Amino acid sequence: MGRHLSLMAGLTLIAVGAMLSLNPALAADEQVDRSRPPALGPPPALDLPAVERHMLLNGLPVYLLEKHGVPVVQINLLIRTGSTADKVGRTGLAALTVEMLDEGAGERDALELAEAIAYLGADLSPWSGYHDSGIDLFTPLDKLDEALPLLADVVLRPSFDGEELERQRLDRLTALLQARDEPRSIASAQFNRALFGADHPYGRLADEASLRALKVEDLETFHNTYFKPGNAALIVVGDVTADAMMPKLEVAFGGWRDADLPATEVAIVDQIERRTVYLVDKPGAAQSEIRIGRIGAARDTEDYYALVVMNTVLGGSFTSRLNSNLRGDKGYTYGARSRFTFRRAPGPFLAGAAVQTEVTDKALAEFMKELEAIHSVSDEELVRARNFVALRFPQRFQSVSAIGDELTEMVRFDLPPDFFNRYVQRILAVGKEDVERVAAEYIDPDHLVIVVVGDREKTQEGIKALELGSIQELTIEDVLGPEPRVGE
């Protein structure tokens, strides 16, 4: 046994010696600077194939990107209408209409449709937002001819079955009931309402009355009004070509007829005039949910890239100022973040965290300190933030589904065809003066909303001592309305 170990040790020394002789830099420690991490190389540029733009005979645009090598296909159908089209007293109509699309379509009921999709190894997912809705289909290439008619049925021929509607309604009423025990949901609802107002599409909330008012006829009318080829787009990514794909899409969607659409406009909301604190009482809460923010920017702002870099410094990464302070230095929270939500109209800027109840006032003080300090950044922070954004960008294109999501964003906001290939270049071009300029313009600590959801008896004295502004005390019912009746 001893001779065996000696032999192995000898062979190891020989191997190490051979490595050192082949690489003198390893043999001379003085040639390797071990006092600092290796320097980062330049961020890799993204070089996506060209996005082809085609059109069906009925005017439905098709955006296609070939990605060969794996025999799968992602097809996203985008509808350029979302909850901003909900009528007064019918909040939740758009979301419920889209959610019902795959609850029975064509000749199949909900269960039969789900079984057909699962049998193919495919995935079909409806989604909805403020301005847009859609249905995303992922399928193996050899099942495309069977999966595509299912997508067409869901988009063009949904059943809107009454029993399925009642099940979906019950799910939503139950979710409203559960939200009353979720400080995060309460904080988000009050934050949006305080910023945009209860009647604005960005601030209104579906309640029991609006959900119970929705009928099958409302869903059918919404679908017949907004699901039109002139209000839609198809995004296709995968192991296909236009020559092979376009005839299939023509068969599936060529009978879809266009029509005029009613105008849907979203009012631009005035900026917050003064700092206001909203304390929502959640007795016994172990943590306080904090939301701080103001009106941000629309997606088409010329400041987009500078805002992305600036927010990365402030609260958009794990090593950001907010997280390093409130989590790393103070230990008040598991994570503090900030973000700009870019929409067609200016969306919110938000900074927030869930903090321990006993340090709620101290955490607010640190938030305010960082919001003041972001008006100045160092050269090192700037370089680190730009590299963070640039180096992470290519991972957003690792699968056909991920690429489909990115292309859907491109179509949603009418971004130029070279947007993705130039993204890294534009991020790296953001200068220190750009970051400080947008920080001064968009981060004004004297004009913002502060929402705290937690045990008010334990937190309000410390919060009042900070003198952050006028304080409004609210109950959960003030925010979410009366407790919904479930099962009646």
Per-residue pLDDT at 34? 74
Domain 276-480: CATH superfamily is Metalloenzyme, LuxS/M16 peptidase-like (3.30.830.10)
CA separation for the pair 266, 433 (Å, rounded): 32
On the 0-12 / 13-18 / 19+ scale of CB atoms within 10 A, 11 is exposed
Contact 244, 46 (CB under 8 A): no
On the 0-12 / 13-18 / 19+ scale of CB atoms within 10 A, 190 is buried
Per-residue pLDDT at 40? 67
- The candidate with the shortest Cα–Cα distance to 137, out of 197, 74, 218, is 74
**Torsion sign across C-alpha atoms 78, 79, 80, 84:** negative
Q: Which residue has the tokens 């900074």?
A: 351
Distances (CA, A) of 259 to 54, 64, 128, 158, 232: 20, 25, 22, 19, 12
Helix (H), strand (E) at residue 472: strand 470-474
Distances (CA, A) of 78 to 10, 88, 226, 343: 66, 25, 11, 16
- The candidate with the shortest Cα–Cα distance to 414, out of 124, 135, 156, 131, is 131
Tens of pLDDT along the chain (488 residues) come to 444 444 444 444 444 444 434 455 444 455 667 777 777 667 766 778 889 999 999 999 999 999 999 999 999 999 999 999 998 889 999 999 999 999 999 999 999 999 999 999 999 999 999 999 999 999 999 999 999 999 999 999 999 999 999 999 999 999 999 999 999 999 999 999 999 999 999 999 999 999 999 999 999 999 999 999 999 999 999 999 999 999 999 999 999 998 888 888 888 999 999 999 999 999 999 999 999 999 999 999 999 999 999 999 999 999 999 999 999 999 999 999 999 999 999 999 999 999 999 999 999 999 999 999 999 999 999 999 999 999 999 999 999 999 999 999 999 999 998 899 999 999 999 999 999 999 999 999 999 999 999 999 999 999 999 999 999 999 999 999 999 988 66
What are the boundaries of each domain within the chain?
A: 52-253, 276-480
For residue 383, give the amino acid letter.
Answer: V
Per-residue pLDDT at 260? 86
Does domain 52-253 correspond to CATH entry 3.40.50.150?
A: no
Say yes or no: do domains 52-253 and 276-480 share a fold. Answer: yes
- Other CB atoms within a 10 A radius of the CB of residue 465 amount to 10
- The candidate with the shortest Cα–Cα distance to 346, out of 203, 199, 198, is 203
- The candidate with the shortest Cα–Cα distance to 252, out of 160, 141, 159, 145, is 145
Per-residue pLDDT at 452? 98
On the 0-12 / 13-18 / 19+ scale of CB atoms within 10 A, 425 is middle
Per-residue pLDDT at 36? 74
- The candidate with the shortest Cα–Cα distance to 387, out of 273, 308, 480, 486, is 308
